[in-house]
């Protein structure tokens, strides 16, 4: 089973394509990058679970119910007596999202002693992301769980996922957190802009012992770097409606492809396998943008109709 530690929250997505201050109507959708990712895994027939914290409120109940409906293991989602469930307001202008996040919410209050460590007994991989690193105690919890996983031979994946408004005036702290996280990661996903930002502050991802690096480039597709070899994967063309969560669909599909190949524990890939996994991730991410909301990863059954990724789709369909 693939577990993710991180935020699950409410996305309030603007209905009108205008500046956030002028929006009159929002749609409520479940979201949060790690939650989006584990839902994507389930839709691709990979068992997954979430480690997170929600408030004891209506939004928290809604999110846990929706996760369960998707088949995600919610045994490690904790209810917080102190803070409310996180919410994010999402503005869409010309199909490009921007985000307004709120602080002092339940997922930032995830403490190490909240988490039942028995999940490690059934974990095939632990995924974590950049949002929880922005605050304590969730930062220490994420990094320590990643360390514990690796100490037991469980691979880890990390989504850089920098939200600038969470790091205002704290760039030195961001750099330190990213360096610590990259040292605990076997697989890393980041956007092209995030890579440039890290490089501007002296962090070169090639300096770390990362087994597989995925760089997403929007309409230009993605690039996979493995054992010193870089492979560019072209984009899959669709009419995008809402790109919210596309990066999370990409992450889910990449991990699902590796899972189907039996490559999570020993990440050694031929160029052909690398290209197939990257193409699968690109196509799944592209298709996710054709629907509104972040839980938009297509179900694996529909992917069998696309010949170039049918081998992975059929392997995933055969999983029990």
What is the DSSP annotation of 51-65? EEEEESSHHHHHHHH
pLDDT confidence of 95, banded at 50, 70, 90? low
CATH architecture for segment(s) 2-317: 3-Layer(aba) Sandwich (3.40)
* % of the chain with per-residue pLDDT over 70: 98
Question: For tokens 């010193």, what's the residue?
Answer: 228
pLDDT confidence of 91, banded at 50, 70, 90? confident
CA dist 208 and 159 (Å) reads 15
Which pair of tokens denotes residue 235? 């984009």
pLDDT confidence of 224, banded at 50, 70, 90? very high
pTM listed for this prediction: 0.96
Task: Read off the pLDDT of residues 49-75 as tens digits, 9 standing for 90 and up.
Answer: 999 999 999 999 999 999 999 999 999
Q: Which H or E run includes 143? A: helix 138-151
Cα separations in angstroms, 20 against 23, 25, 241, 244: 5, 10, 18, 15
> 164 Cβ partners below 8 Å, 6+ apart?
none
Residue 294's pLDDT is 84
Residue 94's pLDDT is 61
Report domain extents, the chain: 2-317
Task: Read off the pLDDT of residues 192-219 as tens digits, 9 standing for 90 and up.
Answer: 999 999 999 999 999 999 999 999 998 8
Residue 282's pLDDT is 98
Q: Is the predicted pLDDT of residue 257 greater than 60, yes or no?
A: yes
Residue 240's pLDDT is 86
DSSP labels, 211-223: SEEEEE-GGG-EE
Look at residues 154, 217, 213, 156 and name the one whose alpha carbon lies nearest to residue 188.
213
- Cβ 216 vs Cβ 243: under 8 Å: no
Calculate mean pLDDT across residues 5-30.
92
Task: Read off the pLDDT of residues 282-300 as tens digits, 9 standing for 90 and up.
Answer: 999 999 999 988 899 999 9
Residue 316's pLDDT is 97
Q: Is the predicted pLDDT of residue 92 greater than 90, yes or no?
A: no
> 69 Cβ partners below 8 Å, 6+ apart?
none
């Amino acid at each position: 089973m693939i577990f993710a530690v991180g935020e699950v929250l409410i996305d309030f997505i603007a209905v009108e394509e205008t500046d956030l201050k002028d929006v009159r109507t929002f749609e409520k959708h479940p979201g949060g990058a790690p939650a989006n990712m584990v839902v994507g895994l389930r839709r691709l027939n990979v068992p997954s679970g979430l480690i997170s914290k929600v408030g004891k409120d209506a939004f928290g109940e809604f999110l846990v119910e929706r996760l369960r409906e998707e088949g995600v293991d919610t045994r490690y989602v904790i209810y917080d007596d102190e803070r409310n469930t996180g919410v994010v307001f999402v503005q869409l202008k010309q199909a490009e999202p921007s985000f307004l996040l709120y602080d002092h919410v339940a997922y930032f209050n995830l403490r190490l002693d909240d988490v039942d460590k028995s999940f490690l007994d059934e974990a095939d991989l632990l995924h974590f992301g950049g949002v929880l690193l922005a605050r304590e105690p969730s930062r220490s919890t994420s990094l320590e769980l990643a360390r514990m996983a690796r100490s037991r031979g469980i691979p880890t994946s990390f989504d850089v996922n920098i939200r600038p408004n969470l790091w205002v005036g704290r760039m030195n702290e961001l750099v330190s957190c990213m360096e610590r996280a990259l040292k605990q990661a076997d697989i890393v996903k980041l956007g092209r802009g995030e890579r440039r930002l890290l490089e501007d502050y002296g962090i070169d991802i090639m300096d770390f012992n990362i087994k597989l690096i995925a760089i997403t480039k929007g309409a230009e597709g993605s690039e996979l770097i493995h054992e010193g070899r870089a492979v560019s994967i072209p984009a899959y063309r669709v009419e995008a409606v809402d790109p919210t969560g596309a990066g999370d669909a990409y992450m889910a599909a990449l991990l699902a492809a590796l899972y189907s190949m039996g490559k999570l524990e020993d990440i050694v890939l031929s160029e052909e396998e690398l290209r197939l996994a990257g193409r699968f991730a690109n196509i799944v991410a592209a298709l996710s943008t054709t629907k509104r909301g972040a839980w938009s990863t297509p179900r694996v059954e529909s992917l069998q109709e696309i010949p170039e990724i049918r081998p992975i789709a059929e392997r995933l369909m055969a999983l029990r």
